[in-house]
Structures are given as C-alpha cells and as structure tokens.
Amino acid sequence: MARYQLILAYDGAKLEGSQRQAKTVPPAGELLDERRAKRTAQGELEKALRTLGWTGRSVLIAGRTDSGVHAEGQSVALDFEWAHGPDKLRAALNAALPPDLAVRAAREVHPDFQPRFDATSRRYRYQLFCDPVRDPVRERYAWRVWPAVSGEVLQSVCPIFLGRHDFAAIGSPMKRGGSTVRTVSLSAWTESEGGWRYEVRADAFLYRMVRRLVFVQVMAAQGRLSAEQIRQAVESQAKLPSGLAPAHGLSLVEVTYQDQTK
C-alpha cells in the first residue's frame, strides 16, 4: 500500500464544490448511493478510483472550494495498492473521469502526507472584466463588472492585505472559535486580455475570504468604498459592506508544500 498525491483540475460550473458532503459519506463497507449524492470534485474522483479497484472510504483533500469555483491545482492524497506507477495511475484515472475533471499529476509521497495540514501556502486567481452587456461564454470563468472599475485603484488597494493581519472583517474561520489571523504573501492585480486578474497567496484562507477580498476591492475601484475604510477593516476589524464576488471567477491555482516525496 502506497500513498499518492494527485493534482486535480476541474471546471466547477457543474460541480457542487470540491468536497463530498458529510451526509453522503457511506457507512464503512458500503458504496455511495449515487442517486442521493450531489456532484462534487471529490465524489467524481472517488467514483473513478473505484473503477480501478480502490476500496478506500474517502480521499484526503487540501481544501474546500465552493460550488462553481474552479481549480487548476487542487491537492488530493489517497492510499492505494497500485502496481503500475504514478504515471499510469494518472492515465487510468483520466480515462475514467468525466470531461470537466482531470488529474494533472500523480506522485508517490511519504505515508503520513496530509494535503490540508502539510500545506505551507495556497494561491488563488480571480478574473473579471468590464462590460455593460452580458457575455455568456466569457462569464463562465470571469465576473462581468459594470460600472467599469479603475485599474489604478485596484492596484493601489491590493497591497493593504499584505502581511500578517486579523481578517475577521473579511472572512470567517472554518470552525467556530478558530483564529482569523492569516499571512498574505501575494496580493496583486494585473491587466489581462481586456480584463483584470487578481492573484493572492496566503498561508491559509478564511471561509470565502478570496471572494470577499475581490468584492471590497471592486467596490473601491467603482468609487463606492474608500481605501481608508478597507485599511481600517484590516487593521482594526472595522465593518465593511456585505457582499461576495461570484464563485465562477475564482480558481484554486496551487497548493504548496515542503518536499513530501517518498
């Protein structure tokens, strides 16, 4: 039995998030009732694994992505008696997975590797563009914003989040009573293909933190919120207007680790 790490990519448009919900986890020794299960990245991966003879109950996943959120670098671990090597495991899984999911890489890792708790950072990307008219194709992966945003304001506001701060005004902890302190090492907007792309990296993220970060920055770039209000929220947890950027503009790009190769 070996432990494998998989790098999973998925189009989140038709997925109810990354993680299989607790109520759909079958009792030990029983198969999941597919008729009652919501379609998730984890669930689809586990179905593909079972076609290869995997008998585990659940894979380990680095982090939760909401319904509609995409991923290019979700990290997953599982124990599997597989005699053909990581490359053939990747190929076999991709043959069994639906078109909106793919295993981009597979490798054997240390037996105690935990994709969530061993992560040193996570990086997300958010994409938006400004247009007064709907663009159904483009809007699958980017937020259409109108009135138009000021790129100058976006680029002046994003450094406020850099460093170690209490982000209680931006997000909520994953569990009751958890810390809201996080360290952000990258927060940057760049112009891209007629729109704007936000890259943010942190040691960990609060629940819906990235979508909230994008929302308040867009408000500032539309003149509906000041940079000083955002600064006060970060420095003293002052209240900000409620709201979230839509899920479909967000993608989990990368989860990083210290070397876990076996």
**pLDDT at residue 261, as a whole number:** 60
CATH code for the structural domain at 121-255? 3.30.70.660
The pLDDT, as a whole number, for residue 189 is 98
Residues 196/151, Cβ–Cβ less than 8 Å: yes
Handedness of CA 101, 107, 110, 116 (dihedral sign): negative
Q: What is the pLDDT along the chain (262 residues), one digit of tens a residue?
A: 999 999 999 999 999 999 886 554 555 555 555 544 689 999 999 999 999 999 999 999 999 999 999 999 999 999 999 999 999 999 999 999 999 999 999 999 999 999 999 999 999 999 999 999 999 999 999 999 999 999 999 999 999 999 999 999 999 998 888 999 999 999 999 998 889 999 999 999 999 999 999 999 999 999 999 999 999 999 999 999 999 999 999 999 999 998 756 5
* Amino acid of residue 46: E
Task: Take residue 40 and report the two structure tokens written for it.
Answer: 């998730």
Q: Give the HSE-up count for residue 134: Cα atoms under 13 Å, Cβ half-sphere.
A: 2
CATH 3.30.70.580 fits domain 2-117: yes
- The DSSP code sequence of 139-156 is GGTSEEESSPP-HHHHHH
Catalytic residues: 66
Q: Are 255 and 119 in contact (CB under 8 A)?
A: yes
Boundaries of CATH 3.30.70.660 in the chain?
A: 121-255
Residues forming CATH 3.30.70.580 domain(s) in the chain: 2-117
pLDDT at 260: 59
Pairing of strands 250-257, 70-80: parallel
Q: Strand, coil or helix: what is 7? A: strand
Alpha helix ranges (H) inside 77-226:
86-96, 151-157, 209-221
